[in-house]
Structures are given as C-alpha cells and as structure tokens.
C-alpha cells in the first residue's frame, strides 16, 4: 500500500514537533496537525510563560534586598498590561520558531484538528483524509475542574495568562506544583492569595521534609494556606464569588482557580474506532517503546500519563524516531529524572524521597537547613534545605532534594551525579565551592538520622 506520509503526527507540542523534525531530517515524509498554537502546553500555556511570571514576581523581594544592601530604590506598582503585552509578543515569537522548525525541515503542517479513522488514516477537521505508515499521537493534556456547584465559573491555569487585569484576591484550590507555583507567583505580584488543599501537606509525592519547608516559606511570604480544607461550593456574588469550605467557613474572592489535576487530551480522537486501548483516566496505553495496542500507532508525552514533563516528552519523541525510523529499538528511560518546582523558594529534586527510600531498605539521611548568607545579611528569615538520601548498604545516593533560590539550576547538575550512581563518598571527595549554598551538599559528614 502506498501512503501519503511515512509519519503523521497529531499534536504540535514539544514532543510532537521534535519527533516530526528528527524523522523528517532522516528522510521521512512527515505531516503534523495542530488545532491550537504550535509549542503546546510548555511554550504557550505552561513552562515558558509561567517561568517569565516567576521572574516578574520575584522583583519585590529583590527590591527589598537591594534596600537592605544599601541601594536607595523604591518599589512602584506592577503594570500587568505592560508585562502581559511583552509576554504575548514573546510567545508569538516562540510559536514562530516552532513553525519555522517544521517548515525548514520539510514537515507539512495542517492548522486544524485531526482524528483517527483506522490504524493508518487520519481525518482533518475539513473532512480531508490522509494516510500514513505510522501515526504518532502527541496531543498532551488539559486542566480539569471538579464536578461541584459553581465550578464552571472558576479559572484553570491556562486562564491566568489571559487575564485582562490581576484580581485583588484569588482562591487557589489544589496542592500540586501548579497550584503552589501560581500561589507564589500571584502573591509576588501583589494579589491576596488563599490556597486550599485537602491533604495534610502540599506537594504530595515529594520528599516530606522538603515540601514542609516550602509550605512554611509560602506561609511566611503571606500566602493564606489552609491544609485539610477543600471547597464545597461557590456562588457568584457582586465583585466575585462566595466560597463555602468543607470546614464550614465562608469567604469571598474576586477569582477562584482550580489546580486539581490534568487529564490526557484523548476526547474525540477516534481512538476506539482505530482500536487504540486507553486507560482508566483516558490515557493512551503504550509499552516501553511508546507503541500502542495498534502496531502502527504510537503515543508520547502527557497523553500517555507517564511522566508529564516537557523534557520527558522530547526524550520519548527522540526514542520513537530511533525505534521506528532508525532501526534502533530504544525504550524510554523514566528513571531518576531531575525536576524543579518553581515555588518561592524553588524545590529541586531527583531520585527517591526519604519516605520512599525507607520502604526499600536501610538508609542514612544527610540534611542541613540554614539561613543563606545573602538573605541573612538582608535581615530576612528565609531558610534553605540541602538533603541527601543514601543507601546504608551500597552508599549510593538515592535522592537529592534542594529547597533554595536557584534550586532548579542546582538539581540539574546534581542529577548527573545521581544518575551515574554516585556514592556519598563521591560527594565527600568533591571539594566545596565557597561561599555558596550548594557547598553544603558535599560537606555534610554525619547523618542526621538513619532508618
């Protein structure tokens, strides 16, 4: 059978674009369909605009520090409209870069939705059908709202980037990294932030000591964090929304935002018609090579709900091309992935949490929490954490957890050592860089506890 393309990619996010580009560079005839904006969640409504907002939100503290260091500076008002206009322009530029990457490598693009018809056919929104030897699903995920009265009025993370103006107050529901990051961002931009989380501590699944410090610092910065609390209902009132909490309390907020989870974008993709198996949460089920239950159809990124991070989707896209087009079967390595949470302060983490490691066998915990030189001199109470989780038998560092300004930058480098299987003694043999916060990672000699 003669196909229109060797590869048809559905989804123009980071993973889909990378797979399309690399396959095309190798000589494959490739097409890609994207119904929204090129760049996907990361570039358009995730990592990039969020990080730029993080930068913007850090300036009040920077100005206060400058004053403490002798600079005669004053803080003016934050101009959301000016920032937002520049942000939009930057996202437009980046989308153009993504379009250029595809065009320059000969990938044919369709600015419309595509859905599966059968194992080798997709149908575009205009009714045109295209055939391909291989189809790659890279449609990502979307934020979801809970089913409760009034939830239809609330914002999700995507909406924050499109606000005409910043609200005076906001309630954020959720305790994951998206909820916590936006709580810190909006707090830094001058919004009165309240956060509800139904669990006992935010950032479930991360190291307990590290997330405890992040929680403490968020409260110290002025975020009104309520743990063990959820929203029962919300009603529209003049100037905002009246919210009833599960503990019986009531309060009004100008805006309410749900950051309570994301779902794979698999609705109306034609998966059932094509015979592609999906999981309980709607995710596309794949094997170690990103192949679905249909041999000609693969899936990568958040739509598979494995490790929902942009660099992981890109790695999965590269592994897919190696497997399918380069004759080199390459499973995706999801082990020991470093990641950062851009709260204030940031958390960087790689490997096992203390709680997870304790369940695997005897461990030694090396940790120190202190006021760093910069903040201490400025008279601030901010604390940081440096922590290593070490296997008591092999001496291998099983986990590294950092809560500090710049933790994301630090954990990228620490992640190399942990991925290579470095032992505590390897860390000890490394000479400290002084004076830095991160030098504590290689100067902790005695465990603070064992288990």
Report the catalytic residues.
434
DSSP 181: H
Provide DSSP, 188-226.
Answer: HTT-EEEEEESSSSSSTTS-HHHHHHHHHHHHHTT-EEE
- Rounded distance, CA 155 to CA 168, Å? 15
For residue 417, what are the CA distances in angstroms to 243, 399, 413, 429? 47, 10, 7, 13
DSSP 274: H
- Rounded distance, CA 366 to CA 390, Å? 8
Contact 143, 156 (CB under 8 A): yes
- Rounded distance, CA 83 to CA 3, Å? 47
- Rounded distance, CA 45 to CA 178, Å? 12
Residue 10 has, within 13 A of its CA and on its CB side, a CA count of 30
Which residue, among 119, 115, 113, 114, has the nearest Cα to 275 in the 3D structure?
A: 119
- Rounded distance, CA 125 to CA 346, Å? 42
Helical H runs in 77-145?
A: 80-104
User: Which structure tokens are listed for 10?
Assistant: 């559905």
Contact 211, 202 (CB under 8 A): yes
- Rounded distance, CA 327 to CA 333, Å? 18
Burial 16-39 (b: 16+ CB within 10 A, else e): bbbbbbbbbeeebbbbbbbbebbb
Q: How many CB atoms lie within 10 A of CB 269?
A: 25
Helix (H) / strand (E) containing 403: strand 397-403
């Amino acid at each position: 059978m003669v196909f229109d393309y060797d590869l048809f990619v559905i989804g123009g996010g980071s993973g889909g674009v990378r797979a399309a580009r690399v396959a095309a560079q190798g000589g494959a005839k490739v097409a890609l369909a994207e119904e929204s904006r090129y760049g996907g969640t990361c570039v358009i409504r995730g990592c990039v605009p969020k990080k730029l907002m993080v930068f913007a939100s850090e300036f009040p503290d920077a100005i206060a520090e400058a004053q403490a260091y002798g600079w005669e500076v004053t803080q003016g008002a934050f101009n959301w409209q000016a920032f937002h206009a520049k942000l939009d322009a930057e996202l437009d530029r980046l989308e153009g870069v993504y379009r250029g990457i595809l065009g320059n490598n000969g990938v044919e693009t369709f600015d419309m939705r595509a859905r599966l018809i059968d194992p080798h056919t997709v149908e575009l929104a205009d009714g045109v059908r295209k055939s391909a030897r291989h189809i790659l699903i890279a449609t990502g995920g979307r934020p979801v709202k809970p089913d409760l009265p009034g939830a239809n009025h609330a914002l999700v993370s995507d909406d924050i980037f499109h606000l005409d103006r910043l609200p005076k107050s906001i309630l954020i529901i959720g305790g994951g990294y998206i909820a916590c990051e936006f709580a810190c961002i909006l707090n830094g931009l001058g919004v009165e932030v309240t956060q509800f989380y139904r669990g006992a501590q935010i950032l479930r699944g991360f190291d307990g000591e590290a997330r405890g410090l992040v929680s403490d610092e968020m409260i110290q910065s002025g975020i009104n964090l309520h743990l063990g609390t959820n929203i029962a209902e919300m009603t529209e009132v003049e100037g905002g929304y009246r919210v009833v909490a599960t503990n019986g309390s009531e309060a009004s907020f100008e805006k309410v935002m749900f950051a309570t989870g994301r779902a794979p974008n698999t609705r109306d993709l034609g998966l059932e018609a094509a015979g592609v198996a999906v999981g309980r949460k709607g995710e596309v089920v794949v094997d170690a090579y990103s192949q679905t239950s249909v041999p000609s159809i693969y899936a990568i990124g958040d739509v598979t709900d494995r490790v929902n991070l942009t660099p992981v989707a890109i790695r999965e896209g590269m592994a897919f091309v190696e497997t399918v087009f380069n004759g080199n079967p390459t499973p995706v390595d999801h082990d020991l992935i470093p990641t950062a949470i851009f709260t204030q302060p940031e958390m960087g983490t790689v490997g096992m949490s203390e709680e997870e490691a304790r369940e695997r066998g005897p461990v030694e915990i090396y940790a120190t929490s202190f006021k760093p030189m910069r903040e201490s001199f400025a008279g601030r109470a901010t604390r940081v954490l440096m922590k290593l989780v070490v296997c008591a038998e092999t001496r291998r560092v099983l986990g590294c957890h950092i809560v500090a300004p710049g933790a994301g930058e630090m954990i990228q480098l620490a992640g190399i050592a942990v991925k290579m299987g470095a032992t505590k003694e390897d860390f000890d043999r490394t000479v400290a860089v002084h004076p830095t916060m991160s030098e504590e990672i290689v100067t902790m000699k005695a465990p603070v506890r064992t288990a």
